Structure 1
């Protein structure tokens, strides 16, 4: 799984960067499209990075005018993050690129294998939270 993840990252990063969006920035934008109004802490957990890393990504995207911070309706000191119209436009281009990559994989694997891969990956996602590391791990 790790090799497949690394290969995917290495494949998508160069064309995303040509659009001005790194893989990390894409992850932030895509998650804000799916769940508008996430806080920085929530976004860090979803993307799988530290709060410090998400702060740098948010700052970069905010500086570009792709996302905006809004005060939380009930908690004044908490800021929600939202895509701007410009951010949605930039994300649309990146989404088209990712859809093309997905289409390439589907065509290359064939419909049956592609469906099986998606099903198995879905099962992996469901099973992983149930794993507990052993109490001791030999060095």
Structure 2
């Protein structure tokens, strides 16, 4: 199972890297931005837990995304010690385009599957890691 999952991932990741290069997003950048985009106000701690990242690895990513003007830090509304991460207007626009590109790629790479098979595959894969 691992062998086949890895082969499938490799066949997608090569095109993913190529197609998301114009957005300046690597897979981990995309994951972090997507999580922030869909969960405005998420904290670094929550990001680490959701994406299985180590805090030291996230610090540089957050700084880079902030320097690019894609995210901003705002005080957390309920925890005075925490800071929420929010997409900027530029970050929202970028992620709308990048997520559409990623979605189109997934449809393309799974074109031999029916829509029901694609959904089943996604559901089964998520059962392994969620």
TM range (shorter): 0.7 to 0.9
Q: Are 2:96 and 1:92 equivalent residues in the alignment?
A: yes
Match 1:27 to one of 31, 35, 38: 31
Residues 60-86 of structure 1 deviation map (CA, whole Å, 9 limit, x = unaligned) = 001111001111122222101110101
In the alignment, structure 1 segments of 5+ residues that lack a partner are: 130-139
Counterpart CA distance in 1 for 2:79 and 2:113 is: 49
Higher Rg: 1
Q: 1:9 to 1:127 in 2, by over 3 A?
A: closer
Q: 1:28 to 1:127 in 2, by over 3 A?
A: closer
Normalised TM-score (structure 1)? 0.79
User: What 5-or-longer segments of structure 2 have no aligned partner?
Assistant: none
Q: What's the TM-score, normalizing by structure 2?
A: 0.84
Equivalent residue, structure 2, for 1:80: 84
Which structure carries more relative contact order (alpha carbon 8 Å, separation 6+)? Answer: 2
Q: Which aligned runs of 4 or more in structure 1 are off by greater than 4 angstroms?
A: none
CA contact (8 A) 2:12 2:109 kept: no
Q: Does 1:118 align with 2:122?
A: no
